[in-house]
Structures are given as C-alpha cells and as structure tokens.
Amino acid sequence: MLYVWGRIRPAKSPFSARLHEARSQCHFANAPAGPPPAFSKRTVNDRFVPGTPATLIRNATVFTGDTILHERDVLLDQGLIQSVSSAFEHRASPDTVEIQAAGAWLTPGLIDMHTHLGVLSMPLLPSHADANSQMSPIRPMLRSIDAFNEHDLSVRRTLSGGVTSALVLPGSLNNIGGQAYPVKLGSLHDRPPSSRVIDPPRSMVMNGEAGHARDDLYPPNTGMQRPDGSTSFRQIKMACGENARKYHLVRMDEAWNFRSMLERAQKLRARQDDFCARLATGQLDYAPPSELHFPNEQEIDVLVDVLRGRTKVQTHCYTMNDLDAFVRHANEFQFPIAAFHHAHETYLVPSVLHGAPGGAPAAAIFSTNANYKYESYFGTPFQPELLRSHNITPIIKSDHPVLDSRRLLNQAAQAHHFGLHELDALRAVTSAPAHVVGLAHRLGHVQPGMDADVVLWDRHPLQLGATPTHVFVDGRSEFEVLHSSGPAPDGTKPQQAPPSAKFHDDMARVRNASEAIADQRVLAFPTPVKHVPAMVLHNLSHVYLRTDGPLRLHHGQGRVLVFAQGQVRCFGDESCLASAPAHAHHMDTQGGVVLPGLISYGATLGLSDIPSEASASNGEEKAQDERSDLPRPMSRAVDGLVFGGHDLLRAHASGVSTVVSAPPFEGLYGSVSAHFDSGASSVLDKMSVRASSVALHAKLAPSEDGRFALSTQVALLRAQLNHPKTPEWEQVASGRLPLIVATDYEHMAAQMILLKRAMPQVRLVLDSAAPLHRIAAELAEADIPVLLPNQVWMFGWERCDRLAGPPVSAETELGVLLQHGVRVGVRIDEAWEASNLLWETTWAAQDAHVTDAATILSWLTTNLEDILQLPASSSDVVVYDSNPFAYGAKVLGVGTPRGFELFP
C-alpha cells in the first residue's frame, strides 16, 4: 500500500509529538528515491570548496558521456560544469584559470562501480582488512562507510588515474554483506571522512543533523533540499556462489538465506504499511503512546527498502545457475536488480537477465581477468560486446585491490580491443555506472549543471598508456603536477581511438555456441583453427628477428618469411620463396608484423588450470624443515606440467610461445622451475619441454606459521649455500644453476647484494616488487639481474616506498633500474595476466619513457634467456595483422618447433 503524507505540522504536546514523529516516519518510509526535486535548478555544488577559482578548459575534444564533441570550451565554476561551448567563444573573466587543451580529450571523471577502496586499504594490514564480516553470512545492516580508512594510499593514486567517484562495497564472503556507498575520491578539504558520501541516503545520519531537519544542512541554491521527504538510493551488496563456502554453505543454503531474509522484510513492510494506513485514517489519533511506534528493525530495514525500490541491489554472481536463481528470487519478491557483478557467464544466458523485474540488470565485469576459480572459468574477453548486443549494459570495474583501480580505463580499452564500440567502452566507466547507481543527475556526464568532475588526458583515453594531465573533482584541480606517461614505441600519443581487433569469426563462434561452451566442447576465446608444417608469410611490414645476437628490426613493405621444419628458413624478398616447401601454406598478411615468441615468467601457468581447485592444480609444496639435515627432494615443475588449461591457451593465442614456471611452495625454499611450450598438449610432444631445470627458487618473506624471522631465513639461505644438502643446492653453490630469490623487501634485497659479494660464483637473480630504486647502483655493481612485474600497486607494507610511476611520479622502478644498467626481465603475478603480457610491458616501457620496441621485447625474450640461461627460442615466431604494441592488433599465427598454428 502506498502512503504519502502531506505537510507535517509541528507538535504541541508530548502526545502530539509522538503522533507527529509517527507521521514523519510514515512520510519518509513511503517517499520516493532519486534526485532531489529541485536539483536541476541548483547554482552551486553542495560539495563546492569556497575560494576555488573558476577554470576554463579551452579547445578540448569532449566525450560527454554519450557522444563526442570537437573543439569545445568547458567552464567549471561553483563546483559545476557551467557551459560546454564552441571553442574560443567564451570570454573568461580575469580571475579564471585557463587551460589550453589543444584538442586533447576531456572526459567525465571515471566511476569505479565495484571497489573495496578504504575497506581493504593499502598497504593491506590485518588491522585494517574490514571488507568481510565473519560473524554470519547474512549482515544487511553493516555499512562500508563505517570502515572507510583514510590512510588508504590507493585512494589518491586511484584519483590520479582519473577515477573521481567509486562505489565502495563490502566484500563477497557474505550472502548479504552490507550496504555500499558511492564516494568522491577528491581531497577532504578539512571535512570529515563521511563527507565523501555523495548525497547520503536518509538512513545515514549526517554530522549536524538533528531529527528530520536534514534540509537545514543545505542552502537552497545547492538543490539538495528534499521537502517531499525523498531520499537518495541506498546500495546493498549481495553475493551468491563459491565465496560463501567459508560458512560451509551450499547453494541451496544460500537461496534460503536470500528468501528467508526477504520474507522477513516483506512481513515488516506489511506491518509498516498497515501502521501508516491506520495512522492516515485517524485510527491511531487517540492510541496509547506504546502503539505509536513505527514498526522497524534496523537489521533488515535496508531490505524493506529493496522491496520498496529504494535500494539498488548490487549482486556478486557468476554462473548461469546462480544468475537464474537470483532472478527467480527477484521475481518472487518483486524487486529490481541494479547489476550483477563479475557475472562471467551472463553472455551465455542473456534471456535470464531480461526476465528480471524492472528490466535487465547491468553487468559489472572485468575485461580479461578470468579462470581464477571455477565460476570464472567460462568467461570470455568478448563479453562486453556480446552483452551490449543483447541490450545488457556492460560496466567495467576494478574490484580493487584485485585489480589496480588506477588502471580502470585500461580495462575499458581492452574491452574495446575485443569488439566493444568506442563510445560504449567510454560509457562503461562513466555514464553507465552513474545511471546504475542512481547518480546520473550529477555524475558521469560533461554537460551544464553536472558536478565538475572531469579529466583531461594526454592521448585518446582508449589508447595504451593514456594518462591524465589534469583531474578535477567538484571543480577543484586535485594535483599541482601530474607526470605523463611516455609515447608509444612509434613515438606518438595518438589522439584517435585505436581500432578494435578483427575478431569477427571468433565473436560469431562464441555467440552461437552457448551450450557447447557450457559443457566444455568449445572454448570462449581465440583458438587456432589450423595446424600446418610449413608457412610462407607475405607482405610483412616489420619483422623482429633474433639470431646469435640481439633482437633486430627489419622493416619495409613486401617482406617474405618462410617457416618450415620448426624454424625460420628464410627472411627477405621474393627470392625466399625458393626455400619454401611445395606443401607450404601461404598467407598475405597485408602489412603484418612478426615478433619472436614471448616468454612468460612467473605465476603458476602450466601448473594450475583453476588455482582454487585442488584437482585442477599441481598444488602447493608445504614448508620443509629448513634446519633438517635430510631435506626431502625438491619439487620440480617439469614433473607436474599440465597443458591445455584456459590461461595457458589464452596466453598462447596472445603471442606467448613459451613459459617459465615453478611450483608454488611455503617456506624459504622448495622448487625448481621449467621452461616449456605454451601450445603443447603433453610433455611427450616434440620440444614441449625446452629446459627441465631452469633455476632453484627461494623466497624471503614472513613465514605464515611465524617459525622463522627474516633474519633467520637469510642465515638459513647462507648456510645452505655454504653446506649444500641436495644436488640442486650443490649446483647453485657452484654457479651451475641460477638461484632466484623472491622478496618484496628492500632490506632483504640489500642482504642479497651482500651475499653475492661474499659468494660471487652464485648466479643470484632477484624476483622482486620491492622499492629497489635506492639500491639500483649496487644491484648493477653486483651484477644481480631483477625480474619485476610490469605493473605494481600497494599490497603489503614492504611496497609502500615503491615508485608509483606516472602520473604520480616521473620515474618508475623499471626506469631507474635501466638507468643504472641492471639487467631486467618482466614477470607476471597471476596466470591470466600472461594473455596481456605485451600490452602491460609496453605500458611499463612508456611509463619508463622507453620507446625502442626491440628493447621492450628483450625484457620478454632475450633478457630472460640470458638471465636464466634458457636455450635460445629463435625458432618461435608470432605474426600479428598490425602493430602489436598497441590495442587493435590480432595474432594471425604462432610458429614453434611443432609447426605453425593459424588463427581465424
């Protein structure tokens, strides 16, 4: 029953005060959710910081949130976008700050619709890990804003990436994890942390608010007053699927958790409606005070608002069956779903989403991150475009700290690479999330009257390496200086969008094979369609070849390459055709580019198909007793290789021809890595294993069981080198086998320099995300190579002093190491990252202002061969249809000693 109360008169007695309060509660409980009624007439942003000067951004290319406008001036004042006009028409006042955009791109501030900023704050310490309650799987009354940590170093770094607003969610271990809050990431300007919340709902009592006098907190010109009793939308985080296994629940338990709590809310709503109806008809005018209490339960009041349509439901949900079940719950209790998050299988069942009450939910998704658990195993990089084609809104999110929220726009760029239209990719991180969280009246658009949250970019926002040059929140410039990333390897910062890669055939195959994908007969990502023993590539434009020396670039139209008998037989002009076998397959690449096969180092690629499933993984070696005189045999990757996993196949389809992996282990030391072919089907294949013993691995990190301090670990490592107890350690001590020591601690890296000085024969290699820039000269002097990730964000305390790189700092760890002559190679942290290896390494190079493509490739090929003494993989080649150092290029084929594989 809908109940709307008119004007509420002030009370004159205790009884009338109780009656007045009851009427107020009914008034607010039944009022609508959405923008304040006079919001469009505001003349100043309620978040405006007095003294902020007006800013005129001249001659920008503007993405408005819907379309693209060229040669526009944008005026920011009073915390609002005041005008978007033709370039140079606007005459600025003398005190207006002017920025000459010179055609650069201006976008709305980005919105991350799924982040744990502040509640899983960086550096990640147990004392501030507040995302998940472990009290119960059902905690609707919890509020993320109550745990938001202002010491989170990621907040300002995320802002530097152009993300100005974010929906801060509780975690996903609980079926109902609590209430989420949309926040601004700009500076507080002496305001309390809770002031970050954008238009707090009435359920959140604000500082200075007394009774129901919230409107008194806002001047009329802010448009924030709500005389109709309305509220902004609340947000609730729900989650189905694997994560609640922590509570020993199966999916039937989860379904009952949702339904039983919604039934409680349904009954509470009925009691409230009945109370308000009796109050409205005068039945309670003379009731005793005990009967004048508005029925409410704080534990579930947010769920009542779900049923009233005043709470946006944000649901972590992956699989077809979970999506289907949750839509059934929504239909049973008649509430809309704002978005499914992660939602890896939405593309398989779009009709299920269209069956939800109130219209199809949006899907807040990753672009390429997948396979980390069974729920994500059937994901596809084509999902954003497939969803759009089914009239389901794709939204790109970070799930920070799962992915770095500073790189949110990069995920949208990857979605564009895999087919999502330029405008839809930009909407996916601006206007689309603004609409879904109910804030499109003030966020996500560049148009008059909107909050002045805008970002100016150094190149087209979807180009690899795009970096903000200016970030404004509520009209205020947030950074005095932002350091731009360097140009692409071709020396440019393109102002036009990159093309989408030509995945038309793969896209059509995935679109039409839902059932075959679901039962694992068909793969949902690019796969080879043909295998030939010999290949002739015509009309190549650029070829990077390695022989006995460094990589060399050969360029010029019309080049020919002959690949036969598992290697490059000839490269040059048409005369090479004489060396081509008669049965060779011919391809006109139309300007294609050939690279050496990339080497992926790190993670568990080839050792686990699904890391979270024991039966789909080699497993983790438990800690040895490092003090034992009889250590057990070393775990060897070559003995546990599993080919054909999704991450391995996706890496292969992205140009990674070989992999170096070591079995994961607990404790100080414990495994030997192997070098193997990413496209092989078995260790029995020809050349599937290139090297069975690459290096012995150790790590210096706090032990999980607390047995050994870091200083003790160094002592044990030194003792093992002085008195080796296994054949592997004897090889390391004599310099015949490299020792890779993983540590993210700068002081431990310094100890390794001392160890190398004392034992120069040991071939010591650092695997590190530590802040090494302060000891780069000493690393070079000691000739200690470093394997480092191509991108790093805060996790532990040990990484706090790491150079963040553009736009936060001008320099990067990689750049400083290179300046001092340290030999470097690039590694990955998680197996899925291998499919993005060349992109992310190219971006790392741009941040380090390295533009030589051969140098970039060396970090993924010849440097790794040199550092790890791998057998040269000069036989491996990958051909792309265009420039592979930018988005838009597609792999056409991969050549290895097994032959040449063709992709559609």
Kindly tell me the sign of the dihedral angle through the C-alpha atoms of 289, 290, 291, 296: positive
Beta pairing, strands 55-63 & 68-77: antiparallel
Angle formed at CA 736 by CA 734 and CA 741, multiple of 5 degrees: 85
- Among 336-345, 680-689, 766-775, 821-830, which is the least confidently predicted range? 680-689
Helices 320-333 + 251-280 axis angle, to 10: 20
Q: What is the pLDDT of residue 874?
A: 74
29-73 tens-digit pLDDT: 999 999 999 999 999 999 999 999 999 999 999 999 999 999 999
CA distance 224 to 892: 56
Q: What is the pLDDT of residue 391?
A: 98
- Among 454-458, 677-681, 682-686, 688-692, which is the least confidently predicted range? 682-686
Tokens standing for 43? 């003349």
Average pLDDT of span 768-792: 95
Looking at residue 290, the DSSP 8-state letter turns out to be G
CA distance 622 to 604: 16
Q: What is the pLDDT of residue 646?
A: 96
400-448 tens-digit pLDDT: 999 999 999 999 999 999 999 999 999 999 999 999 999 999 999 999 9
Average pLDDT of span 864-890: 93
Residue 70: name the closest of 82, 88, 54, 55 by CA. 88
**CATH no. of 526-597+874-904:** 2.30.40.10
563-590 tens-digit pLDDT: 999 999 999 999 999 999 999 999 999 9
3-state DSSP of 52-68: CCCEEEEEEEEECCCCE
Look-up of token digits 């679109």: 511
CA distance 130 to 87: 48
Q: What is the pLDDT of residue 64?
A: 98
370 Cβ contact list (under 8 Å, min separation 6)? 344, 376, 377, 379, 380, 381, 646, 832
Confidence tier at 9 by pLDDT (50, 70, 90): very low
Cα distances from 724 to residues 166, 380, 593, 672, 735, in angstroms, run 53, 47, 48, 15, 12
Reported CATH class of domain 598-872: alpha beta
Tokens standing for 769? 């995300």
Kindly tell me the sign of the dihedral angle through the C-alpha atoms of 271, 272, 273, 279: positive
Q: What is the pLDDT of residue 36?
A: 97
CA distance 766 to 645: 28
Q: What is the pLDDT of residue 112?
A: 98
CA distance 458 to 494: 9
Q: Which fold has domain 41-109+439-494?
A: Urease, subunit C; domain 1 (2.30.40)
Q: What is the pLDDT of residue 12?
A: 52
Beta pairing, strands 877-880 & 824-827: unpaired
Helix (H) or strand (E) holding 323: helix 320-333
CA distance 734 to 500: 51
Task: Assess whether pLDDT exceeds 50 at residue 635.
Answer: yes
CA distance 244 to 452: 40
Confidence tier at 1 by pLDDT (50, 70, 90): very low
Average pLDDT of span 292-298: 94
Tokens standing for 288? 């005793």
- Lateral strand order in the sheet of 311-317: 110-115, 163-168, 176-184, 234-239, 311-317, 339-342, 362-365, 394-396
Same fold, 110-186+231-438 and 598-872: yes
Task: Assess whether pLDDT exceeds 60 at residue 4.
Answer: no
Tokens standing for 453? 């949250």
CA distance 452 to 604: 45
CA distance 856 to 367: 24
CA distance 445 to 434: 9
Nearest-10 Cα torsion for 14, 17, 18, 19: 120
Type of residue numbered 313: V
Reported CATH class of domain 110-186+231-438: alpha beta
Q: What percent of the chain has pLDDT over 70?
A: 96
DSSP string, 794-863: --SGGGTTS-B-TTT-S-BHHHHHHHTT--EEEEBSSGGGGGGHHHHHHHHHHHTT---HHHHHHTTTHH
Average pLDDT of span 752-768: 97
729-747 tens-digit pLDDT: 999 999 999 999 999 999 9
795-834 tens-digit pLDDT: 788 888 999 999 999 999 999 999 999 999 999 999 999 9
Cα Rg, the chain, nearest whole Å: 30
Q: What is the pLDDT of residue 11?
A: 46
Is the separation of the CB atoms in 634 and 667 below 8 Å? Answer: no
What is this structure's pTM?
0.95
Cα distances from 339 to residues 381, 418, 423, 433, 808, in angstroms, run 19, 22, 20, 10, 32
Confidence tier at 553 by pLDDT (50, 70, 90): confident
DSSP string, 444-474: S--STTSB--EEEESS-TTSTT--EEEEEET
Q: What is the pLDDT of residue 797?
A: 87
Task: Assess whether pLDDT exceeds 50 at residue 5.
Answer: no
Question: What are the domain boundaries of the chain?
Answer: 41-109+439-494, 110-186+231-438, 526-597+874-904, 598-872
Q: What percent of the chain has pLDDT over 90?
A: 85
Confidence tier at 6 by pLDDT (50, 70, 90): very low
Q: What is the pLDDT of residue 7?
A: 43
Helices marked H in 88-163: 154-160
Tokens standing for 235? 């947000």
Residue 174, classed as helix, strand or coil, is coil
